[in-house]
Amino acid sequence: MTSEATRHVMQANRSKNTKPELLVRARLREAGYTGYRLHWKKAPGKPDICFPGRQVAIFVNGCFWHRCPHCLLPLPKTNVEFWKAKFDRNRARDARDNALLVQDGWTVLVVWECMLKEERLDSTMREVLRELDRASREGQNVARMVEIGSPRPWKLRRERQKLRSRHTLR
């Protein structure tokens, strides 16, 4: 059983038109990228922002719900089994949808909520625009998945080790 307050908070979480998503859409419009579709049902996973002509799908993932690899957020302390299963299902669904899009020849861009914070916003959006430009060039669109703002794998491993050591010291 959940309390009425918890139920109310959970119902307030949006799946569409979140603040990070609106921010990305505003920046795309400022850069002149219009004509995208929102939550296009014809594409696997209904990407948050979809450019069917360019075959580019953009997912703006919330760090909590999609388990951001940069943040290493802890599991909620209550009802742990439920949350673990929920997050595992979310990640499996994300991987399946990304794989289906890439298999169909799409470029998939994943933008994490934490990469849209003020200090990272400009560099993140530059990378998104660079990937959109790359996909727009005729014959240049290569089906692939790109995590925007992700450090190189060796750098990510080092950051994770630092975060883990901080968590074990507490």
| Domain 3-169: CATH architecture, name and number where available | 3-Layer(aba) Sandwich (3.40)
- pLDDT over threshold 90, residue 10: no
* 47 contacts 58 by C-beta, under 8 angstroms: yes
**Tens-place pLDDT, residues 54-112:** 999 999 999 988 898 888 888 888 889 999 999 999 999 999 999 999 999 999 999 99
**Tens-place pLDDT, residues 21-69:** 999 999 999 999 998 999 999 999 999 999 998 999 999 999 988 898 8
What predicted TM-score, i.e. pTM, was given to this entire model?
Answer: 0.81
**Tens-place pLDDT, residues 148-165:** 877 666 666 777 788 777
